[in-house]
Amino acid sequence: MNLENYFKNGKIYVWKETFAIIKAKKADFNAFANIIDKNEITVIIDQLKYVPENVIEMEKDWKILTFDMILPIELVGFLAKVTKVLTDEKISIFAISAYSTDHILVKKKDLKRAKEKLKELGYIIEDK
């Protein structure tokens, strides 16, 4: 499995919504994602839809970039390479891996630079 095949002409789409990452008191099943572990609940939701009484802490103004491809679960190094390119530009990310693809969230203020760096890897990026 050649890692480079997942960069050249791969597709990424950027969600039109702007998201908040919330440390919450409970999950929200209208959210993009809920991450529930033994210590906390993290909710990622369109920031226009969040419910303030559910919020413990919140970071706003994140954009989701979805890798519009099937990534084999045994693929090694994919997210590490993406992260390295963005880290070199001092772009903070919040990564979420689903069963067959990955998503990264970047701050809205960093979106243009993130898109430029990902295009340099060979991605085609579309706004949805």
Q: What is the mean pLDDT of each run of 10 residues along the chain (128 residues)?
A: 78 97 94 96 93 90 96 91 96 96 97 97 93
Helix axis angle, 78-88 to 111-120, nearest 10° = 120
- For residue 50, the model assigns a pLDDT of 77
What is the C-alpha separation between 11 and 3, in angstroms, rounded? 15
Domain ranges of the chain: 3-127
- pLDDT at position 1: 63
pLDDT score at 88: 96
What CA–CA distance (Å, rounded) separates 94 from 64?
Answer: 9
pTM summary value: 0.93
Residue 118 burial (CB < 10 Å; 0-12/13-18/19+)?
buried
**pLDDT at position 51, please?**
78
Is residue 14 within 8 A of residue 118, CB to CB? The reply is no
Q: Is 114 in a helix, a strand, or coil?
A: helix
Class of domain 3-127: alpha beta
Identify the three-state secondary structure at position 55: strand
